[in-house]
Amino acid sequence: MRRIVFLAALLLLAGGALLPARAQMEVRAIRAGHLVDPESGRALANQTIVIERDPQTNRSRIVSVGPNVAIPQGAEVIDLSDQWVLPGLVDAHDHLAITYKEEPESWYYYYTIISDSTPLRAIQAMSTGFQKLASGFTIVRDLGNNGLYADTAHRQAVEMGWVPGPTMINSGIIIGGFGGQLYETPEMEATVYPEYLNADTNDEIVKAIRRNIHYGAKVIKVCVDCQAYPYTQEQLELFVSESANAGRKVSGHVQTVEGALRAARAGLWSLDHDNALTPEVHKLMAEKGIFRAGTETPKADWSRVGDREWERRLAGLKDAYEQGVPLVFSTDADYYIPGFNRGELSIEFLNTWKAAGIPNADILRALTVNGYRISETTETRGLIKEGLAADIIAASSNPLDDIMALRDVTFVMKDGKVFKKDGVVAPLDFFHNGPVYGWRKR
């Protein structure tokens, strides 16, 4: 003990000379030929963005943005003068740790939850996040189906700089009435866990919410009406109040019109999936400012969306837009499609929005501005503004003219680190600088 005290005294007397020197702030400047502002729906020519990044904390800050910004001496200059520069994209509903193995669609889900361990699924989530980031998604709401909290492990690894990936807003285990979304046999009731937490009474609901928050959930996900015994409005109000007690919002998986109406009346933060979202539900959502994460699968050879389903989907999205429901881009793209990685597959969902006649500028707002709002990141990251983190992407053509320009994201910066440049993913920034060491809260 005396030796430890003596050594500590020596360090103090040396003024910290024996401690590692603090890494210098990194400074970068982006020359943006066209800077797209999703809030106004305009693009400004010849803008400069100056960014500082602290390697020790793994945090970045946009210092200045404008047409006549001086580039600090010694700053690294990134030339995007022939590109359309914009803030990072948000997928407001996905599942990163569900398999994309090349297996029959009806089996992929069950293969994952039965045969794959949580550590394997955490690695898969990292791989999926890597692919999403390469397509420009700098924030993802990961809403369940992650085994025993692989989503929390993935989020922590990203936050500590161990792996590149989007900012994760994770839900932990989906909470639902007995059985979750599964239809089990009495001999195998345990199959539902850990994909779902059974919570049927008020006490069980409170315990399930607290358990998820304790293990790192940033949002609470509830199966509103996945079984024949849906949650009542009073129970859904309990979800909202108990989650709010810990500063969390509630995302609701809805399957029936009555369930969606109950969820909207209870004040859930978002209603997810579009099957139950009728004009009546949209009216209530618009009045209460509830986000619509519709997960609108496009009509394509690989999607198996029939003509009737497609027309219903387009009509629903158009109605929500016309009624002023807060729209966010969401995919649920948790499956393998030959020819696409998970990021590329997510971008294909924009075809639904185009077919519904949503203007490009409003699609981009759903992908960005509303995405930051639903993710509750507007105070720290999102838009390319002074004081916010540097999550910046670029495309070779203007997404305000054609939103499908986002198929060709050529540049991705996350937290001031370059992940993709000139169309090539080379995340050397993430590994050359090393991870952030130290304990982080869940």
Rounded to a whole number of angstroms, the CA Rg of the chain reads: 23
Non-local CB neighbours of 168 within 8 Å, separated by 6+ positions: 129, 140, 142, 151, 154, 155, 158, 218
| pLDDT tens sequence across 139-193 | 999 999 999 999 999 999 999 989 999 999 999 999 999 999 988 889 888 888 9
CA distance linking residue 390 with residue 413, whole number of Å: 7
In the DSSP assignment, the letter for residue 335 is S
**Domain 89-375 coded CATH 3.10.580.10:** no
pLDDT band at 433 (very low <50, low <70, confident <90, very high): low
| pLDDT tens sequence across 330-388 | 999 988 888 999 999 999 999 999 999 999 999 999 999 999 999 999 999 999 999 99
Residue by residue, DSSP assigns 81-142 as EEEEEEEPEEEEEE-TTS---SS-HHHHHHHHHHH--HHHHHHHHHHHHHHHHHTTEEEEEE
Whether residue 315 is predicted with pLDDT greater than 50 in this model: the reply is: yes
Whether residue 35 is predicted with pLDDT greater than 90 in this model: the reply is: yes
Non-local CB neighbours of 426 within 8 Å, separated by 6+ positions: 418, 420
- Domain-wise residue ranges, the chain: 26-87+384-432, 89-375
| pLDDT tens sequence across 76-90 | 999 999 999 999 999
**Nearest Cα to 83, choosing from 432, 424, 422, 354?**
422
3-state secondary structure of 405: helix
CA distance linking residue 229 with residue 249, whole number of Å: 23
Residues 427-439, mean pLDDT to the nearest whole number: 67
The pTM is what? 0.93
Whether residue 392 is predicted with pLDDT greater than 70 in this model: the reply is: yes
Range in 5-19, 29-43, 89-103, 197-211 with the lowest mean pLDDT:
5-19
Give CATH superfamily name and number for 26-87+384-432: Urease, subunit C, domain 1 (2.30.40.10)
Whether residue 127 is predicted with pLDDT greater than 80 in this model: the reply is: yes
Q: Which residue has the higher pLDDT, 93 or 56?
A: 93
**Share above pLDDT 90 across residues of the chain, in percent, rounded to a whole number:** 80
Whether residue 60 is predicted with pLDDT greater than 60 in this model: the reply is: yes
CA distance linking residue 215 with residue 197, whole number of Å: 13
